[in-house]
Every structure is written in C-alpha cells, then in structure tokens.
Amino acid sequence: MKTNIFDIFRIYFTKKMILMLVLGFASGMPLALTSSTLAAWMVTEGVDIKTIGIFSLVGLPYAFKFLWSPLLDRFLPPFLGRRRGWMLITQGALIATIATLGFFSPASQPLIVAFWAVALAFFSASQDIVLDAYRTEYLAPEERGPGAGIWIMGYRLAILVSGALALIMSDHISWRSVYVIMGLVMLVGVAATFLCPDPEAGRPLRHGAAPPQSLQEAVVQPFVEFFKRPGAVEILLFVIIYKLGDVAAAQMTTPYILQHIGFSRTELGTIFKGFGMAATILGGIVGGALMTKWDLRRSLLVFGILQGVSTISFVLLEFTGRQLWALSTVIGIENICGGMGTAAYTALLMGLCNTRFTATQYALLSSLMAVSRYVTGAPTGFLVVAVGWIWFFVICTALAAPGLLLLIRYRKWAGGLETGP
C-alpha cells in the first residue's frame, strides 16, 4: 500500500502534538532571557564587557540540573499529579521570576540582577526536567520522533519571541515592561499544563512499578537500574559520541564563515538566525515524520550519515568564496540534517528512560550529551591551526563514524528501549 505524503505528516495535527508544540515553546521561553536578551539589556545600560562575560555563569543550573532531578521523581505535589504538579509549580515560579528581574538595573544593581537571573535559570532548568519527563511518559514510542520534531519547532519559536521580539520591543518600551510581558507570555505554558492529561492515569508505568518511595531510592536506583541493562556502557558511549562530529564542527563554523571566508556579521546573522532557524524546524518536522515509518535504529543511522554530509558541505565555501547562495545552501543543509538528527537522538533518550525515574535518567543522559559539546569544542581551534580548514571539516565528518558503527550493536540494547515501528 502506497503511503501518501500527507499521511506521514498527519500525526502533527493531533491534540498530543499541539500540546508538545506549546510545551516546547514554554521550555524555550526563558533561555534567551538569561543569555542573549539579558546581555543586550546590559549593553544598553552601559555595563562593561567583562561583567557581561561573567554573567554567562548564570546559566550553570542548566548543566547541573541532574543534581536535583531525583527530587522531582520522588516528591508528589498535592495537586495535578507527579508531573503536571511540578510543571505548574515551575511555570508559576518562572512567571514571577521573569517579571521580578525586570524591576532591577544591571548597571546599578548587578548582584541583585545576577541573583534573579540565576533563580530564573534554576526554575527554567527545573521546568525542563519535568517537561522532558512528561513528554517521555505521555508519548507512545511511535510518537516520540514526531513529538521531538514539533518540540524543536516550539522551542525555536520561543527563542524568537524572547530573543528577537524582545529586542525589538526594547526599542519602544522599557526593559522592565519587556520582562513583565515575557513573563506573561509564559501563561501559555500554564494553560497547556491544565489541558494536558496525567500520563500516569489510565495506563500502567512501563516497568509496572510505582514511583520511588524514598529519596535514597530516587537517587541510587536510577543508576542501578540503568547499568543492569544489556549494553549499558555502549549506550552511554553512543549518547556521548553520536553527535560528536556535528558539535565539533559547530564550534568553528562562525569563525570559518566570518574570518576565513569573509562574510559580514549581518550576512551571517540574517541567514544563520533566520533561514537557519527555519531549516532546523523543517529538519525536525521532516525527521519526526519519517520516524513514524522507520524504526529508531534506521532513523539514527540515516540521520547520522546526513549529519556527516552536512559537516563536509562547508568545504563548498572554499570553492565558491563569498557567495550568499552558497552560504544559504550550506547553512540550510547543516540545519535540516541537524534537526533530523536531534529528533532521532531525543527519541532515543526518551526510550532509554525507565518511567519510575524518568526525570532523573533523562536529566543525566542529556547532561552526558552536553559533555561532548563542551569537551569536543575545546581543542577545535588548535586542530584548525594544525591541519587547515578543509582537513578540519574532513576530520569532523569522520568523527560521525564511531557512533554509526556502534549502531551495529543496537540489537543488544533494544531490550532496554521502548521503540517505535
């Protein structure tokens, strides 16, 4: 039976996917308000560049969220259930914190602003913990690919609102008003929380067991349970290295395009932030749709190969020089393939979680993902100096191979996964 292209994308027009879009939006809203938008506010207030740089540390809660994730598995709020209760608590805290932040001046009250910015990052990271747990438990295995794709769309749209739109608004109203309005925008997440069904009602937990009954169990058992699985170490290694080449190349693409090829910041910003963001959304949506027809192993393999192709495509600029069509092509390919890979990768992380410990295990796995981003990015500048730009992108492309080779062992892991088709 032939599959109509509209049948592939039909899944996105369901209540579940609309909720994933809105919750993805709620997840993405706070990020820019503690990073790029906050930095722009500090610039307009005349804060020196060193202080602005130090303020990047306010985002540390995102890196260490696994430390308190067991608390969200263990403790049950007195309303709306284990997941939705924490969703409402963190969203209410975010609305209050975002609005409060706008009432202080980064120029005259930097320590107070830093405190509220850290609080904002903490509540945002906490919201991410519980939202990741919720979507893992709410979506059926075959829905996780599309769910990840439309989540990316909501997340990226939120960054546009709290980033680009907030900057435009700041030219016409005060920063205090901007932050109050951004806080009120978070009400869409609150509305979605009330509309979301309880994922633990009406169907048994994946492993037929109750949530952890003690804090010790919530902290220790996620590790014990995971490492009892077949191929546990290989799974963790795959989580770390699957996007290794992609993240290594990403660290150097901006210097390559600006310094080596010679594009202006305006040209890069217009294509990368505008066209590139649209391409990432498209990649996530297309990748998620294809995953309704493919199993997870095939999706990871095909999208992993495409990520490698997108990395080597930057070499095209060596031959075309400063041509906007070439830059658009390369950025489009890179972001579409990256969006596809992210959709499959996110579905993998969701499938690896035991629903007794979803919040803890997902937070740990996503933190491991961040390891490759930070560790791999550090030596990339030295590598460019040593081998040149063309060989740098060739090496980054080759770095995709180890992760793809590990997929040969996928059948060994499959017993510990909830997979789709």
How far apart are the C-alpha atoms of 27 and 10, rounded to whole Å? 24
- The model's pLDDT over 240-267, given as tens digits with 9 standing for 90+, comes to 888 888 878 877 777 788 778 888 767 7
Give residue 207's pLDDT band: very low, low, confident or very high (50, 70, 90): very low
Domain ranges of the chain: 5-203, 220-416
Helices 144-159 and 324-351, axial angle in degrees (round to 10): 130
| Secondary structure (DSSP) of 308-352 | HHHHHGGGHHHHH-S-HHHHHHHHHHHHHHHHHHHHHHHHHHHHT
Q: Percentage helix, strand, coil, to 5, in the chain?
A: 80, 0, 20
407, with CB counted inside 10 A (0-12, 13-18, 19+), is middle
Give residue 1's pLDDT band: very low, low, confident or very high (50, 70, 90): very low
* Identity of the residue numbered 397: T
What is 5-203's CATH number? 1.20.1250.20
Which two structure tokens, joined as six digits, stand for 112? 């107070």
> What are the residues whose beta carbons fall under 8 Å from the beta carbon of 302, sequence distance 6 or more?
294
Mean pLDDT of the chain: 82
Fold of 220-416: Growth Hormone; Chain: A; (1.20.1250)
Q: Is the pLDDT of residue 94 over 90?
A: yes
Query: Once rounded to an integer, what is the mean pLDDT over residues 322-350?
Result: 86
Q: Is the pLDDT of residue 420 over 50?
A: no
Q: Is the pLDDT of residue 201 over 70?
A: no
51 sits in which H/E element: helix 49-54
- The model's pLDDT over 7-16, given as tens digits with 9 standing for 90+, comes to 567 777 788 8
How far apart are the C-alpha atoms of 157 and 167, rounded to whole Å? 15
How far apart are the C-alpha atoms of 126 and 72, rounded to whole Å? 9
How far apart are the C-alpha atoms of 313 and 72, rounded to whole Å? 43
Give residue 203's pLDDT band: very low, low, confident or very high (50, 70, 90): low
Closest CA to 139 of 329, 351, 335, 405: 351
The pLDDT assigned to 419 comes to: 45
> What are the residues whose beta carbons fall under 8 Å from the beta carbon of 53, sequence distance 6 or more?
none
How far apart are the C-alpha atoms of 393 and 376, rounded to whole Å? 14
CA distances from 135 to 180, 198, 346, 347 (A): 28, 11, 11, 10
Give the other-Cβ count within 10 Å of 112's Cβ: 15
Identical fold for domains 5-203 and 220-416, yes or no, is yes
311 sits in which H/E element: helix 296-312
Residue pair 277/379 in contact (Cβ under 8 Å)? The answer is no
